[in-house]
Structure 1
């Protein structure tokens, strides 16, 4: 039997293992990677953004993408689009991006969603999307995706303080300035905040000027794959104060769950698919800083490190059972024909 040929765009992402994991999922489902000319399927990710600063180049990028979508469909390619974000991040031309996204939706054979909760939002945003074209595939877990150091608990920095961790690309929509402001008011004897990730020069200055407490550690710059396991192992809980209506799914949460960590977050659809007793919600009805402060104090007062570890273990078990490459490959086999 001839294997189905697929081209996944982008073909790689140095900052994220997601593309590699999806390649593995499709390959286990019987697909093989191919060039554009030979591909039967074109899987596109984050394709709807039009983010260049130059207006002329933005239009040129937009027209190229429109031509690519229509051209691919005309010559018989089956387009698979993954609905990653509510809106493209740092989007400079929202009208162009929305029109482009509509054209992608209307011309895609399949639309992948990584959280069941995101289907409703997709249909509200794109009422002409065909329900039969929407397929749910779990976001692949990150278990064994990064080099794992032989870390024994006793080798970790022993502290009674609860260690909160933000890890990943640091953008304004992720609310890290609010996080630092909140931790400036937390008793340094009770908790530590560690921030790791790449950041723009301008936002770095904002964050450094916001810092006022000794219980906050800022580690700016690219986080090497070899350090990710250790950094997460040294924490008790991941914290992501995403600004409202900016995030649909969170790969950072899947990463944390894959390493047995719970999260404190403004809810994304990733979290809404999971038992709410296993993670902590930042209340969006208050100001962001007040909500973070209230939630952190609640965790410090009412949860031990053992409680957080238990929640993380349950999440790790969930990742192993329902978010594995094998499970996703099986779902691909049944849905993408």
Structure 2
């Protein structure tokens, strides 16, 4: 009889465990933003969750009804600390709205996950408000996802107590996300072909890049991406005048054109601001499509020290030092190509192999699901 009771209890526990697991897999969550037409990152993160049965909702619908609000068990925020600095009114409106949402989430006891993408906001005018939002996210998040180990160091410098909240999940690869990579046939006789691709914004030091490359011989530069606003686009067009080796494609680049754009270049150049930049999806994009990069040593590249010989990383202290370091890196790449036209191609292939080993989409999806399960069952 006792043996029968024990067996029944064990069966009951297993049954309860299965019900709990199914409840976790089928739970309603918010992943914000749920869609980003300009970046496959969101889709890569969300797709494995939806395949497992998670129901993904938009943050804007959180207060659509009491029933819906109660159904949401976990909220995952990306870039939530960023505030539009287009006008002071828009900035304050965004700040108070986001503060209200965070307060409600905190008081309601819903699990909160925040991904730390940058050192600080790139928007200068709303930096203080962004800092206040960041403080709330640090205090109220149940989990902080980081994509590079440098993020952990920066968080612990703020407060050692954050250690228990930090979860490292590598940035997923983009291999074939925009279509298959295009084969390249470089030639020693051609100039070194550089590409900047992505949203065209001031913090990315586009002007410094154009001024650096503009007077260099046997170097061509293509800048492809949508500018922050028409005024910034006009400023870049004026800067490109009398610099025939610079080609501007100041528009959103459709997904279908990215493989060809990357295939027609020798390497990608990304002269980011070290004061605010930490991770770079564009660096991962370049590596995913077998292109190496010239880029300051941001957190994404710090994590890749074992592959350091296959990309051009540099550091700088000020604008003058940045210009000099960038120029030196470009000249080094030129020398590599002159010596062997295939060397940059091989470096790009080596970096694709590296990220496929260390941060494939499948690994990232599994880690995210495990984190959600842990938070939901705590």
Structures share fold, TM-score greater than 0.5: yes
Query: Is 1:18–2:48 an aligned residue pair?
Result: no
Query: What is the CA RMSD across the aligned residues, in angstroms?
Result: 2.3
Query: Is 1:45–2:78 an aligned residue pair?
Result: yes
Contact 1:5-1:32 at 8 Å conserved across structures: yes
SS of equivalent residue, structure 1 residue 281: strand
- 1:224-267 deviation line (CA, Å, top 9, x unaligned): 11100100011111101112312111111010011011110112
Query: Is 1:238–2:258 an aligned residue pair?
Result: no
Q: Would you tell me which structure has more helix in proportion to its own residues? A: 2
Partners in 2 of 1:157 and 1:88 — Cα distance?
41
Matches within 5 A, 1:1-337: 1-2=22-23, 3=25, 4-27=27-50, 31-34=54-57, 36=62, 37=69, 38-124=71-157, 126-127=158-159, 130-148=162-180, 151-153=182-184, 160-187=190-217, 190-199=218-227, 200-211=229-240, 212-275=242-305, 276-285=308-317, 286-303=320-337, 304-336=340-372, 337=374
Partners in 1 of 2:91 and 2:239 — Cα distance?
34
Which structure has the bigger radius of gyration? 2
TM-score, scaled relative to structure 2: 0.81
- 1:190-238 deviation line (CA, Å, top 9, x unaligned): 3221111111322223322322332221111111111001000111111
SS of equivalent residue, structure 1 residue 213: coil
1:128 positional shift: 6.2
Partners in 2 of 1:12 and 1:101 — Cα distance?
22
SS of equivalent residue, structure 2 residue 342: helix
- 1:65-97 deviation line (CA, Å, top 9, x unaligned): 122112113223100001011111224222221
TM-score, scaled relative to structure 1: 0.90
- 1:25-68 deviation line (CA, Å, top 9, x unaligned): 43456644246432211000111122244444433322221221
1:100 positional shift: 1.3
Q: 1:232 to 1:80 in 2, by over 3 A?
A: same
1:332 positional shift: 2.5
Q: 1:159 to 1:148 in 2, by over 3 A?
A: farther
